[in-house]
Chain A
Amino acid sequence: MSIAHLALYLLPTLLLPLNAAAQIVARGNGPEPSTLDPHRCQEVACGNIVRDLYEGLVAEDASGQLIPGAAESWTRSEDGLTWEFRLRPGLRWSNGEPLDAPQFAASLRRALAPQTAAPMAALLRPIANAAAVSAGAMPPERLGVSAPDVSTLRITLDEPVALTDRLLLPIAFPVYLPALAQFGTQHTRPGHLVGNGAYVLQTWTPQASLELARNAQFHAVATVAIERVRFVVTEDAASELKRFQAGDLHITETVPPKTLTALRAQFGQQLRISPYLGSFWLGLNLTRPPLRENPALREALVLALDREILTRHVTGLGEQPAWSIVPPGTRDHRLPATSASNWPREQREAAARERYAAAGYDRERPVTLELRYNTSTVHRKLALAVAAMWRQTLGARVVLRNEEWKVFVQNRRARVITQVFRGGWIADINDPLDFLATFSGRDNPLNTTGFADATFDALLQRAAALPSGDARRDLIAAAEAHLLAAHAVVPIYFYTSKHLVDPRLRGFEPNPLDHHASRWLRWDHAAAAPPR
């Protein structure tokens, strides 16, 4: 065989697809994760990885249903205030050390300690004394968690919330405290990080990728099919798409803003779009003129928008038009009946003009509004369309203001110069209160509209004190109706999650929080390779 021949044979092996090693999955994961400390993790990018590295008392299956996690069973007291979790026998950390209930309790105390400064601490507020502990007014030992024996964890609450939903959050995951004591903030490095999830951290190259390997100590390791997972930093959706097309990625974090039809034509069943517990709205600053004490004008703004056109032609990725705040499919929630959503266009626009006139404006004396959004192509497109609709239907003059992200966020929170602004919320837990609570309390930093209403706040408080069920659902419905009647926001659409998934990959199932733990994935080697 000549050297030329040899080179001909060798060349293809050198240029083989990079993920040819069968049991590896490469996932696009958006920006660099801010941290791998579960108690400090706030954004989607770290959440995806942390859910592979750690496991809480409870877990989610591929479709998002609650299943036992580190606890094999649990009981809730009659009043819903005391929960007892029975840990699985023989639980171990990834380094082989036993994991018991006192360690779970210590972890929760650390999560809520003031020094941890956990951004999501408010979601564990229902645990007894949590507020005082995280404010530093009480020592962490006073937190309502205890371990009566090595395999039982008892959590006492101040409010009978659905605790298991909150225990799915990374802030409730156990952290291996000896590593924290030894390495400080570096306890999340490969080699230092000790977890109890389905995977362990192997490598972490900031701004490039993280590689995880199956954790032999995981209690359900026999059911975990994928041996290695690579989370890849993909900041640019267009580049991510190309890497998927090239076969370097098997799952993408998102898709670039193209129309649904174009993406469908190109990717067919590889494109996975499903409802996501997120809501997009335009906030109205109720503390400043002209929107303050002007419900008629606010209602006119709500009525004048054609959400079908906005979602089909402007955002275009299967978003569902919204006339309310809480997305459909949220637990303890029913979609409020908003009559305007079914009106034909003429009726809706006539009603909008009628309200506009009632507010004291017409085409000769139009209102001038500032519509503020953070710099992004998608937001700009939407703002342009909204401004055009308000101008056409009402004759309103809309000035578009785009701002750099941090400036925008600060202005929105300060409520001093804003009028109409981009708003929205992505749920952390499957609970309508997660959405509605952003409108309660004037001093709440999340309350960007300045909506302050005692009735609304009282309804939310009563709902928070009830366990899941019809009574709670009714209170939540009343609260949402109250908020909508005040027209504090202009609902636009409910979000969808958008991914490209290799057709040979199984176990990637749609779920409302868009959580896709790698332990549920597996390769179907019989399936056809993606068409190129």
Chain B
Amino acid sequence: MNEGTASTAPRSSRSLHGLRRVAGAALTALVTLWLLLTLCFALLHSAPGGPFDSEKAAPPAVQAQLAQRYRLDRSLPQQYLAYLYDVARGDLGPSFQYPDFSVNELIAQGLPVSAGLGGLALLLALMLGVPMGVLAAAREDSPLDRALMLLGAAAQALPKFVIAPLLILLFAVELRWLPAGGWVADDWRYRVLPVLALMLPNLAWCARLTRSSMSEALASDWLRAARARGYSQTRLLLVHALPAAALPLAAWLSPALIAVITGSAVIEQIFGIPGMGRYFVQGALNRDYTLVLGVVLVAGTLVILVNTLVDMLRTWLDPRLRNTTI
């Protein structure tokens, strides 16, 4: 072991530097999440109405018992500290609206569903959208380009709450090929329409972004120089233009990925999918404090993770970013 000491010294200092950067990033992430939780906690508790307000108000004695069970009888700072302590131990608490489940369980069941559907939708959008964009840019202003971009604009303009019922009407009610909604684990038929509905707007974004940045790249001086060297059109498109054009796409990828992974409340409600997206809306409407804080924490963590990954991807794509600190 000893003979290597001299040569590993600079490497260990480099890795120490790296470690410090990772630790710094982790600390920033933790502080961000803590601020996020605190803000959310304050906002939720300042909203009028509570989790147990309902059409048929329970008698005061029952309200008091419920308040005690959920610690609502304590002062807000006490509730806040107790909640933070639980979160630090990985316990997001029981749900107010669904007392048979803990928030951990609800998220553990909802997140994989949302992430699975959303991830697949985004992957398909990339796999189809990038070639579409490249094709359109390569044949700029051709009928193909116009048709693709028109389709893209339509898919982008149509809101999800229009696309989804249209898909159901066509494929489930009229053709009867697929179920109109619902969820059966391990049955692919229930996933087709939601994935399609989630994919279409992303596909449109992806295709239009690729096309515009590709045509910009194709018009650039360095590409003209490459063309002058006599490279083939395919090589020009895929090896020279595409990596440059991928940069705006990578920037778009991080918000898109976060949006699809955390689930779409609209799509989940229309198709009756047990995902996490609807908890954002439902939880807030029901004043389900723990559920909202739980999903916000998970979403916040995902935002930080995805941003870090996408930044790494961009650094890899764009050498200019390599020596700047993020």
Contact = CB atoms under 8 A, between A and B. Distances in A.
Given A205-B185, A235-B272, A236-B269, A119 B99 contact: no
Among B55, B98, B177, B269, the most chain A Cβ lie within 10 Å of the Cβ of B55
Contacts of B83: none
B179 A208 contact: no
Contact of A406 (B99, B178, B185, B285): B285
Interface residues of B, number: 54
A297 B69 CA distance: 45
Interface stretch (B46-54, B146-154, B219-227): B46-54
B249 interface: no
B183 interface: yes
Interface in B27-80: 47-50, 53-62, 65-66, 69
Given A205-B185, A205-B274, A242-B168, A409 B177 contact: no
A109 to B, nearest CB: 16
A242 B274 contact: no
Interface string B171-187: 01100111111111100
B109 interface: yes
Nearest to B187: A18
A242 B181 contact: yes
Contacts of A411: 48
Contact of B269 (A14, A134, A235): A235
Contacts of B270: 236, 239
Contact of A34 (B66, B98, B177, B180): B98
Interface string A496-521: 00000000000000000000000000
Interface string B181-221: 11111000100000000000000000000000000000000
Contacts of B109: 205-206
B209 to A, nearest CB: 31
A67 interface: no
Contacts of B110: 206-207
Contacts, number: 150
A404 B98 CA distance: 21
Interface string A403-432: 011110111010000000000000000000
A36 interface: yes
Nearest to A205: B274
Interface residues of A, number: 53
B181 A407 contact: no
A208 B61 contact: no
Interface string A107-141: 00000001101110110000000000011100000
Given A135-B61, A405-B285, A409-B54, A245 B180 contact: yes
A338 interface: no
A185 B95 CA distance: 11
A242 B176 contact: no
Contacts of B275: 207
A188 interface: yes
A35 interface: yes
A17 B189 CA distance: 11
A243 interface: yes
A490 interface: no
A139 B62 CA distance: 16
Interface in B258-286: 268-275, 278, 285-286
Contacts of B316: none
Contact of A208 (B172, B272, B286): B272
Contact of A186 (B58, B100, B181): B100
A207 B180 contact: no
A121 B275 CA distance: 34
B179 A242 contact: no
A233 interface: yes
A278 to B, nearest CB: 11
Interface in A83-122: 114-115, 117-119, 121-122
B179 A239 contact: no
A134 B61 CA distance: 8
Given A36-B100, A234-B272, 8 more contacts: A18-B179, A117-B58, A117-B66, A185-B100, A186-B100, A232-B182, A243-B181, A410-B49
13 contacts: A119-B62, A121-B62, A188-B100, A206-B101, A207-B275, A208-B274, A243-B172, A243-B181, A404-B285, A405-B49, A406-B47, A406-B285, A446-B56
